[in-house]
Amino acid sequence: MLSDFLSLLYPRNCISCGNSLYKHEDEVCNYCILNLPKANYLNSKHNPLEQIFYGRLNLACASSYYVFSKKGGVQKLLHAIKYKGNKDLAFMIGKWFANDIKQNELIKTIDYIIPVPLHPDKYKQRGYNQSEEFAKGLAFGLGIEVNTNVLTRLRNTSTQTRKSKFERWENVGEEFSIQNEQELINKHVAIVDDVITTGATIEACGIQLQKIPGIKLSVLSIAFASK
């Protein structure tokens, strides 16, 4: 009875669709978990995410959990993660994604998961790195270590929203550096981000990581904004 009374005062609604959550549901309703648009890119060669990196990065594989569309349910999830402090949702989606891809043979060869880093000033302002929280969920589900010791962000760049492809690259082109590179020699690493649009940020990270001898790169994200 107390639980029902509290639900009247503080209704629990799905972040994606806004409908009321049942007692056994957490953050996202079962309908949205089943019906939000999944990418399933690991099941197809030359998928749309891989294609945006052709001639830019040599990738073992590239995949996203969701396909992003403006004003859709996936955008609402990302907004909650990035701007409303819901880092637990990023971790949860990481676990869901891990469950879908853990049997893939290429995924099984990944040694480390590397989240796209935030600049320390932005981290201090936000209190967490949404890509790192997603990476932790992936790591939990896949049994793979998260590595935050190698890739660092040098500049606190402005938001990428509403920038052209060239402007996005110009904004991030020289802002990452590597350290402790010996940890990743001859390793397969997955660069992880929340949402990928032009791929400029991932490319900037990958260019630095490719300097490490024998490294193999893959890319994973919560969503891909396919054109």
Q: Give pLDDT tens digits for 9-33.
A: 568 999 999 999 998 899 999 999 9
Note whether 117 and 13 are same-domain residues. Answer: no
Note whether 23 and 53 are same-domain residues. Answer: no
The parent domain of residue 28 ranges over 1-35
**Chain mean position to CA 12:** 25
Note whether 31 and 89 are same-domain residues. Answer: no
Q: In this structure, are residues 61 and 24 in contact, taking their beta carbons and an 8 Å threshold?
A: no
d(CA 159, CA 217) in angstroms, rounded, equals 25
Note whether 100 and 159 are same-domain residues. Answer: yes
Per residue in 199-222, pLDDT (tens digit) is 999 999 999 999 999 999 999 999
Note whether 29 and 114 are same-domain residues. Answer: no
Structural domain count of the chain: 2
Per residue in 129-174, pLDDT (tens digit) is 999 999 999 999 999 999 999 999 998 765 555 555 555 545 555 6
The per-residue b/e assignment along 137-156, b for 16 or more CB within 10 angstroms, e otherwise, is: bbbebbebebbeebbbbeee
Measured N-to-C along each axis, helices 130-142 and 73-83 cross at an angle, to the nearest 10 degrees, of 110
pTM to 2 decimal places: 0.89
**Which residues have C-beta within 8 Å of that of residue 201, sequence separation ≥ 6?**
116, 160, 168, 172, 193
Note whether 59 and 12 are same-domain residues. Answer: no
Note whether 15 and 91 are same-domain residues. Answer: no
Note whether 14 and 109 are same-domain residues. Answer: no
| Better-predicted residue by pLDDT, 226 or 188 | 188
Per residue in 71-80, pLDDT (tens digit) is 999 999 999 9
Closest by CA to 221, choosing from 122, 135, 159, is 135
Average pLDDT over residues 34-62: 95
**Half-sphere exposure (CA, 13 Å, Cβ side) for 108?**
4
Note whether 218 and 164 are same-domain residues. Answer: yes
